[in-house]
A = this chain, B = another copy of it.
Amino acid sequence: MSDNPDPRQNHLLDALPPAERERLLPHLELVAMPLGQAVSESGMHMRHVYFPTTCIISLLYVMEDGSSAEIAVVGNEGIVGVSLFMGGETTTSRAVVQSAGHAYRLKGQLLKDAFLRAGPMQRLLLRYTQALLTQMSQTAVCNRHHRLDQQLCRWLLLSLDRLPSNDLTMTQELIANMLGVRREGVTEAAGDLQRAGLIRYNRGKITVLDRAGLEARVCECYQVVKTEFDRLLPAQHIL
Residues of chain A whose beta carbon lies under 8 Å from any beta carbon of chain B: 59, 61, 63-64, 67, 69, 71-72, 82-83, 85-88, 91-93, 116, 118, 123, 126-127, 129-134, 136-141, 143-145, 180, 220, 224, 228, 231-232
Contact = CB atoms under 8 A, between A and B. Distances in A.
B138 A139 contact: no
B130 A140 contact: no
Name the prevailing secondary structure of the A interface residues.
Answer: helix
A61 B137 contact: yes
User: Copy number of this protein in the oligomer?
Assistant: 2
Closest 3 A/B residue pairs (Cβ): A140-B140, A143-B143, A86-B130
Given A59-B137, A61-B140, A145-B180, 10 more contacts: A63-B145, A69-B144, A72-B137, A86-B127, A88-B130, A88-B131, A88-B232, A91-B130, A92-B137, A136-B136
A130 B118 CA distance: 18
A213 to B, nearest CB: 20
Contact of A145 (B69, B83, B141): B69
Contacts of A180: 141, 144-145
A91 B224 CA distance: 11
A133 B136 CA distance: 8
Nearest to A129: B86
Contacts of A228: 88, 92
Contact of A126 (B86, B93, B144): B86
A63 B129 CA distance: 23
B86 A220 contact: no
Contacts of A86: 126-127, 129-130, 133
A87 B126 contact: yes
A86 B71 CA distance: 20
Scoring A72, A85, A139 by chain B CB atoms within 10 A of each residue's CB, the highest score goes to A139
B87 A130 contact: yes
Contact of A63 (B63, B140, B141): B141
Given A86-B126, A88-B130, A136-B133, A61 B141 contact: yes
Nearest to A116: B118
12 contacts: A69-B145, A72-B137, A86-B127, A86-B130, A87-B126, A87-B232, A88-B232, A92-B134, A92-B138, A118-B118, A132-B133, A143-B143
